[in-house]
């Protein structure tokens, strides 16, 4: 085999100092692209693996305890960089306060709503009814004097009154002073002597229906002071009573919700 002439031999040691071709910049460009592509693929793979790991560790975990299923949530402690379980928020409410709140909801509903059935209304509003049993003598006497006006405003106009309780809270525990915000709706009745809004829940849809159909709306802030009496019944075994009852009226504005309205000073009741 003939030897290759010197002028045709490759000068391997001269690349790239003395060797230059027109395609050299393109070669460098494609080499850099390949390097970056490999790096991006490796980085993306690492991020996917890390994301799956964090999703498993930080999001909820389904835990079965007996026949009950619960969720567990975790977060990263920024100081110690450790995973900690999120503890559920707990509030301590005395059992008596819960019972009083339940009775006050019944009391406010019965006192501020009406039905078309005359015997039911007379049973609720009478001296031996649930409102009287849960009221002090002077509180019920004042309410009884208002019953004719209530009858005239509702039944006399072919309406029934429904009530929506927005808020009920114990503002001064030492004095057993409660505050409630309610809205009363005077609604027309249908042929079956029921409200046009066929709902008895506190859903937004039901409330919107009452606001739309009501012939009259009254927004009130009510202050109640509770106590105990001897009228213990099956529906009120502790004898919880309303010793003071003061209602203050609030303006209704469609562009504002009730808690945006200025609150009056706490009255001396």
**Structural tokens at position 32:** 């850099």
Residue 107: predicted pLDDT = 94
Asked if residue 146 and residue 52 are part of one domain, the reply reads no
Q: Are residues 197 and 157 in the same domain?
A: yes
Residues 56 and 151 in one domain: no
Structural domain count of the chain? 2
Which pLDDT score is estimated for 265? 47
Do 206 and 246 reside in the same domain of the chain?
yes
More confident residue, 218 or 257: 218
pLDDT-wise least confident of 7-16, 156-165, 218-227: 7-16
Strand partners, 168: 180
**Look-up of token digits 């009056």:** 264
Q: In sequence order, which residues have a C-beta less than 8 Å from that of residue 135 and are 6 or more positions away?
A: 107, 143, 241, 242, 245
Same-domain pairing of 79 and 102: no
Q: Higher model confidence: residue 191 or residue 169?
A: 169
Domain boundary among 85, 111, 143: 85
Does residue 105 carry a pLDDT above 70? Answer: yes
Q: Could you list the residue range(s) of the whole structural domain that residue 63 is in?
A: 13-85
* 233 and 159 within one domain: yes
Decide if 212 is inside a domain.
yes
In a domain, 246, yes or no: yes
48 in a domain, yes or no? Answer: yes
- Are 251 and 150 members of one domain? yes
For residue 262, what pLDDT is reported? Answer: 44
Same domain for 176 and 45, yes or no, is no
Q: Is residue 251 part of a domain?
A: yes
Instruction: Please write the tens of the pLDDT for every residue from 127-152.
Output: 888 999 999 889 999 999 999 999 99
Whether 2 maps to a domain, the answer reads: no
Cβ atoms within 10 Å, residue 139: 21
pLDDT at 269: 54
The answer to whether position 29 is within a domain reads yes
Q: Which residue, 61, 85, 109, sits at the end of a domain?
A: 85
* pLDDT digit string, tens, across residues 150-172: 999 988 898 889 898 888 999 98
State the average pLDDT over residues 72-86: 73
User: If you average pLDDT over each of 44-58, 135-149, 200-214, which comes out highest?
Assistant: 135-149
Task: Look up the CATH number of the domain holding residue 251.
Answer: 3.10.450.230
Tell whether 135 is covered by a domain. Answer: yes
Question: 118 with 73, same domain?
Answer: no
- 181 found inside a domain: yes
Residues 120 and 54 in one domain: no
Residues 100 and 190 in one domain: yes
- Phi and psi, residue 83, nearest 5°: -85, 135
In Å, what is the CA distance from 268 to each residue of 35, 245, 247, 265?
81, 11, 12, 9
Which of 23, 51, 85 is the endpoint of a domain?
85
Indicate if 154 and 251 belong to the same structural domain. yes
């Amino acid at each position: 085999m003939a030897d290759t002439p010197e002028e045709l031999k490759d000068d391997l040691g001269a690349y790239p100092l003395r060797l230059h071709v027109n395609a050299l910049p393109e070669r460098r460009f494609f080499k850099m692209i390949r390097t970056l592509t490999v790096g991006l693929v490796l980085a993306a793979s690492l991020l996917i693996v890390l994301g799956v790991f964090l999703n498993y560790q930080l999001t909820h975990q389904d835990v079965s305890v007996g026949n009950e299923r619960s969720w567990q949530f975790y977060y990263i402690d920024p100081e110690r960089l450790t995973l900690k379980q999120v503890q559920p928020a707990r509030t301590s409410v005395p059992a008596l306060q819960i019972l009083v709140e339940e009775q006050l909801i019944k009391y406010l509903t019965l006192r501020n709503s009406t039905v078309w059935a005359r015997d039911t209304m007379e049973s609720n509003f009478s001296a031996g009814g649930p409102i009287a049993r849960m009221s002090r003598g002077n509180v019920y006497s004042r309410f009884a004097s208002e019953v004719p006006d209530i009858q005239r405003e509702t039944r006399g106009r072919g309406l029934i009154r429904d009530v929506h309780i927005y808020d009920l809270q114990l503002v001064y525990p030492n004095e057993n002073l409660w505050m409630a915000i309610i809205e009363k709706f005077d609604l027309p009745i249908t042929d079956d002597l029921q409200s046009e809004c066929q709902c008895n829940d506190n859903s937004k849809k039901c409330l919107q229906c009452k606001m739309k159909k009501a012939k009259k709306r009254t927004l009130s802030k009510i202050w109640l002071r509770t106590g105990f009496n001897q009228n213990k019944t099956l529906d009120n075994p502790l004898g919880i009573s309303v010793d003071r009852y003061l209602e203050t009226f609030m303006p209704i504005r469609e562009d504002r919700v009730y808690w945006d309205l200025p609150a009056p000073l706490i009255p001396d009741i």
